[in-house]
Chain A
């Protein structure tokens, strides 16, 4: 923690948060949220939470602002509010949030200090994770081993939450659109040169393979550096969103259509749960990877845990990628898959 950075960054975050609410232009609000995300990423980094910062970076730069833009594109740029009874509701809302904020502020005094070695979290579990990770899993990045091994249940259900969010968007928006058959197959050359922006298309076409390669690196290198399934999956999904924005929604949908995206989203989660089930079938607990040494040739229990973590991360990445794409495609086309941004 570097206090010289804390003060300016925290001040800027508060300014960003306040103005994101105050500005009535929703596009402007979305952009201010983007700046807020940059500053939050800086704050996480400066506190040493590198994996959290990476997630913030991938989601904030690649996906969230674009999703806001897609939603504004299909709805309205204005904030609309009813006139009748506004004063009363505003007053009640202010009172409620004031009371809640006061309670939260009061309760925050009970938290242990930052990086307090005597705090409950740092006295029981953390020493085990910090001292035993290398010996038990041979993974240098403790965050990855905690996320995918020690706390594998949490991560599996987090992936399930992402999956459910994608399904919810699909159910809400696709009902009206499911009568249309979806896009027909087109080659990249046949796509209508709608706006004549060959520079953007050329740059995007050249850059997309590198973005996807970087995403695969993030997934595979999560054992040794910050990164992992969530971050890599979001970057992969963002590369497809980039294609859909710079060309056409059809172009991205031709690469991975709705059926394939749903199949990928399912199979990623199934891969995660399947590895857990495999452990169960071999006679150990659910997600107890060390038993996998019986079927993986030439590895001991420690290496088996490391390899199984990679499998789990791949499952997470596939699910997140497919869900990010599905959410964008449905938001931007109102569920019809006909015209993108």
Chain B
């Protein structure tokens, strides 16, 4: 049974790579938010899976609950930020640190 959970956990970890790709490459800030949120959801599941593997799921489920309750605060904060500021697409910021000539407008 542990083999099943370890396999499921490793597959979730590998699927995280896709979400992380979207998070680090972007290009818009919405893509990054989506990627980070998906990573957060997978983390919540993985915490419970790890708890099951260790056989002490009641110790680990509190952390997963904390994530489930608090994970959306950042999304709301981002949406609030973009009611005050423009440039939601991140135009003017290079993906890997190169800043193109056209400067970003706030």
Give me the interface of A with B, judged by CB distance under 8 Å: 2, 4-5, 8-9, 12, 15-16, 19, 22-25, 27-28, 31-32, 34-35, 38-39, 41-42, 45-46, 48, 50, 53-54, 57-58, 61-62, 65-66, 69-70, 72-73, 76-78, 195, 200, 204, 207, 210-211, 214, 218, 225-227, 231, 235, 238, 241-242, 245-246, 341
Question: Size range of the interface on B?
Answer: 35 or more
Q: Are A24 and B94 in contact (CB under 8 A)?
A: yes
Q: Are A24 and B78 in contact (CB under 8 A)?
A: no
Q: Are B67 and A57 in contact (CB under 8 A)?
A: yes
**When the two chains form the complex, which single residue of B24, B65, B104 contacts A15, counting CB atoms closer than 8 Å?**
B24
Q: Tell me the bound Cα distance from A5 to B80 in angstroms.
A: 36
Of A46, A72, A76, which is in contact with the most chain B CB atoms at under 10 Å from its CB? A46
Of B39, B70, B76, B98, which is in contact with the most chain A CB atoms at under 10 Å from its CB? B70
Q: Tell me the bound Cα distance from A47 to B6 in angstroms.
A: 14
**When the two chains form the complex, which single residue of A8, A226, A246 contacts B63, counting CB atoms closer than 8 Å?**
A226
Q: Which residues of A contact B76 (CB under 8 A)?
A: 200, 204, 242, 245-246
Q: Please name 14 pairs of A and B residues whose Cβ atoms are closer than 8 Å in the assembled complex, sorted by A.
A: A4-B9, A5-B13, A23-B93, A35-B23, A38-B36, A45-B63, A69-B74, A72-B81, A77-B87, A207-B69, A226-B62, A227-B62, A231-B66, A238-B70
Q: Are A341 and B33 in contact (CB under 8 A)?
A: no
Q: Tell me the bound Cα distance from A207 to B72 in angstroms.
A: 11
**When the two chains form the complex, which single residue of A16, A45, A245 contacts B47, counting CB atoms closer than 8 Å?**
A45
Evaluate whether A31 and B50 lie within 8 angstroms (CB atoms) in the complex, with A38-B43, A73-B85, A195-B83 already known.
no
Q: Tell me the bound Cα distance from A8 to B87 in angstroms.
A: 34
- State the Cβ distance, B80 to closest chain A Cβ, in Å: 4
Q: Are A42 and B85 in contact (CB under 8 A)?
A: no
The number of A-B residue pairs with CB atoms under 8 Å apart is: 184
Q: Tell me the bound Cα distance from A16 to B43 in angstroms.
A: 15
> Per DSSP, are chain A's interface residues mostly helix, strand or loop, or mixed?
helix
Q: Tell me the bound Cα distance from A40 to B90 in angstroms.
A: 27
Q: Which residues of B contact A35 (CB under 8 A)?
A: 20, 23, 35-36, 39-40
Binary contact track B9-32/A, C-beta < 8 Å → 1, others 0: 110011011001001101001001
Q: Are A8 and B23 in contact (CB under 8 A)?
A: no
**When the two chains form the complex, which single residue of B20, B77, B81 contacts A12, counting CB atoms closer than 8 Å?**
B20
Give me the interface of B with A, judged by CB distance under 8 Å: 6, 9-10, 13-14, 16-17, 20, 23-24, 26, 29, 32-33, 35-36, 39-40, 43, 46-47, 50-51, 53-54, 58-60, 62-63, 65-67, 69-71, 73-74, 76-81, 83-85, 87, 90, 93-99, 104, 106
Q: Which residues of B contact A341 (CB under 8 A)?
A: 77, 80-81, 84
**When the two chains form the complex, which single residue of A12, A77, A195, A235 contacts B70, counting CB atoms closer than 8 Å?**
A235
Q: Are A65 and B81 in contact (CB under 8 A)?
A: no
Q: Are A9 and B13 in contact (CB under 8 A)?
A: yes
Q: Which residues of B contact A245 (CB under 8 A)?
A: 73, 76-77, 80
Q: Are A225 and B62 in contact (CB under 8 A)?
A: yes
Q: Which residue of A lies closest to B23 (CB)?
A: A35
Q: Are A211 and B36 in contact (CB under 8 A)?
A: no
Q: Which residues of B contact A246 (CB under 8 A)?
A: 76
Q: Which residue of A lies closest to B54 (CB)?
A: A48
Q: Which residues of A contact B53 (CB under 8 A)?
A: 2
Q: Tell me the bound Cα distance from A50 to B87 in angstroms.
A: 40
**When the two chains form the complex, which single residue of B23, B32, B70, B94 contacts A211, counting CB atoms closer than 8 Å?**
B70
Q: Are A34 and B69 in contact (CB under 8 A)?
A: no
Q: Which residue of B lies closest to A67 (CB)?
A: B77
- State the Cβ distance, A62 to closest chain B Cβ, in Å: 4
Evaluate whether A77 and B106 lie within 8 angstroms (CB atoms) in the complex, with A61-B73, A245-B73 already known.
yes
Q: Which residues of B contact A38 (CB under 8 A)?
A: 36, 39-40, 43, 67
Evaluate whether A31 and B23 lie within 8 angstroms (CB atoms) in the complex, with A2-B50, A77-B85, A195-B83 already known.
yes
Q: Are B6 and A2 in contact (CB under 8 A)?
A: yes
Q: Tell me the bound Cα distance from A19 to B74 in angstroms.
A: 19
